[in-house]
Chains A and B, each alone.
Chain A
Amino acid sequence: MAIGGLTTNALLYLDNVSVTFDGFRALNALSLSIDAQEMRAIIGPNGAGKTTMMDVITGKTRPNQGVAVFEASHDLTKLDEASIAELGIGRKFQTPTVFEMHTVEDNILLALKTDRRPFPTLFSKRTKAEKERIDALLERVRLTGSRDRKAGELSHGQKQWLEIGMLLAQEPKLLLVDEPAAGMTDQETADTADLLREIAKTASVVVVEHDMVFVRDLGVKVTCLHEGSVLAEGSLDAVSTNERVVEVYLGR
C-alpha cells in the first residue's frame, strides 16, 4: 500500500487502526485514506467494522493502536466528539437521529456553524444571515413547508433528509453517512443519491451502504471491509468481481 505521500494530501488518513472489545477485534489494522472532495462508498457484511470505523473517526471510540489523522495535522485519536465536529467532520447515524421535540427549523438552527460554547450560546440572538442560511438549507432538503412542525412528526425519509440538512448546516469538510437509503422508497433513494453527489462537490463524503443499487447509483470508488480490515478497494465492478469479496459475501 502506498502510505508515504498520502499523509499530506489526504483529508482523512487512517493507518493500522485496531479496536478490541473484550477480546473481539472490531477493527484489525485498518488503513484508509480519503481525499478532499472525494466520495467513497464503504461496503461489507455485518460485523465488518463499518460502524466502529466511524466511531473511531468521530472520537466516540478510542483505537487500541493506529493513526487517525484529519487534514494531515489533527490527531483524531486525541480529540473528543465535539472537537472533531468543530474540525468539520459530520456524521449521520444509521437510524435517523434528530431532535424530535424541536421544530424542523430549530433542528437546523442548532446545527448551524456558530460558537458552540455555553455562554455565547446563552446570549446568542439569531442573525439575519443565520435566518437566510436556514431558509436555504430547508429549501435544499425540501423541508421548507414543514419548518414549524416538530421533527418527531416527520416521516422516516424526511427525518433522514433533515439529518442531512443538519450535517450541511455544520459546513463540514467530511461527511460520514451511515446507510442513508435504509427504509426509503426508490424515488427517495434516487433523490438522496443526487443530494449526496451534490454535496460531494464541496466536501468529502463517506457513505456506508448495503444497498448495491444505491452504491452503483453513486458511481464512486468502493472500499470493501471484512473482519475489521480492507478486503478490496476500487470501482464497484472491480470489487464485486474480486474473488475474496465474492467468497465473503456468498460464504464459499
Chain B
Amino acid sequence: MKNNFNFSPASGLEVLKRRHRIGAIWKSIFFLATAVGILALIVLVSTIVNQSFGYVAVESKVDPATLSEKPLESLEAEELREILQANLSKLLLRRAEKQKLLEDRGKEDLYNLLMDQVVDYKIVKSWSLSASLFQKDRILAEKAQRYPNAKLEFKAWLNPGFLERTMSSRPELAGVRTALKGSLLLIFTTIISALPVGIGAAIYLEEYAHKDHWYNRAIQTNIENLAGVPSIVYGILGLAIFVRTLGAFTSGAAFGIPAETGRTILSAGLTMGLLILPIIIINAQEAIRAVPISLRQAAFGLGATRWQVIWSHVLPQAMPGILTGTILAISRAIGETAPLILVGASTFITSDPTGLFSSFTALPIQIFNWTTRPQDTFRNIAGAAIIVLMVALLSLNAFAIIIRNRYKKKTI
C-alpha cells in the first residue's frame, strides 16, 4: 500500500487536474439533470398551448353571412328565433320543438341550435399552433387537397365563449361553464367540510395532546400515513361510504329532495375533504408550532385558560400560515380527478349544478373525458380546459405567496 503514495509533484499535479476535470464533468451532469426539470415544465406548457390554438378547416352547409348581416353571436334571441323558423325544415323544427319550444329557449340555446341544425358548422380538421405558424404552406396544400369545400380559419380554442358554453357532443360547441361551476361548488363543499376539522385537529395535536399518551401518537402517525394514501383509495372510500351507505343523505332524499343517486356534489366534496384533511392538518400544525412559546407563556402568566390563549393569541398568529397551507391543499383538490371518477362525476351533463345534491361534472373530469375521445378536436378543447385549470391553480398559488409575504413583512 505504501508504494501507492506517490507524491512526486508532476504526477500529483496530473492527478489533481484529473480530479478537477471529473468534478467539472459531474457538475455539468448535475446541472443538466436540474435543467431537465425546467425543460419538462416548458415542454408541458408549450404542448398544451400548442394544442389550444391553431388553424382549423371549417365546413358549413350554409354560410352564416347569408343568414344575417350581423355576426350570429351578437344577435338577440328574437332575431335568432326568426332565422331558425325561416331556415329550419318543418321536420327538424318539429323535432326541436318537441324537446323544448323555441319560445322557451334562451339566446345561447337558440344560437347552438342554429349552428347545429342550420349552419351545420363543422370543424373537419385542426392543426397545432406550431404547424400554423411555421408550416402554413403545408396546411394550405393539405386543406386544398382533402377539404376543398372547407374554409381555413385561425381558431383560439380558449375563448370567452368556451368559458360560457356548456357541454356538447360537438367540440366546437362545447364549453366548460358547467364543469367550472361544478368545480367551484365542489371546492366550496370541500373547504367547508375539511377546514374546521383540520384546524381543530391541528390545535388538538399541538396545544392539548401529550405525546406520552399512546392514542395521541397514534393520531399523529395515522395522519402522516393518510397523507400518503393514493387518492384513488379515497375515491373507493367515498364510493362505499358517501355514495352508497349514506346515499339517503348525500342524495338529499332524507331531506325530501327528489334525487336518484348519492353521486352528488356533497359526496364528492366530502370525499375530497377527507383527501385533503391530512394535508391541512400537517400544514396547520406547522403554522401553530411556529407561534413563539413566549407568547403563550405571557398569556398563561396572566391567568388565562388554555382556550383563551389559543383563541386570542395562537390562532391569530398562526392564521396566515394556516391559510397558506389550506390554499395549497385546495389547489391539490382542484386538480384531483381519480376520486371524482369513483364517486361518479357525470361526464356528459349540460345543466349547471344547482346545489349540494346536484349531480355534477368538474374541470379535471372534463379534461379527462375529452382527452380520451378519439377525435383530435376534443384534444384541442381539452388543452383549452387545461389552460383554464392551470390559470386557476396558478392564481391560487400566487394568492398563497402574497399572503405569506405580507405576513412576513408584518412580523419584521
Are the chains A and B members of one assembly?
no
Q: Which residues of B contact A (CB under 8 A)?
A: none
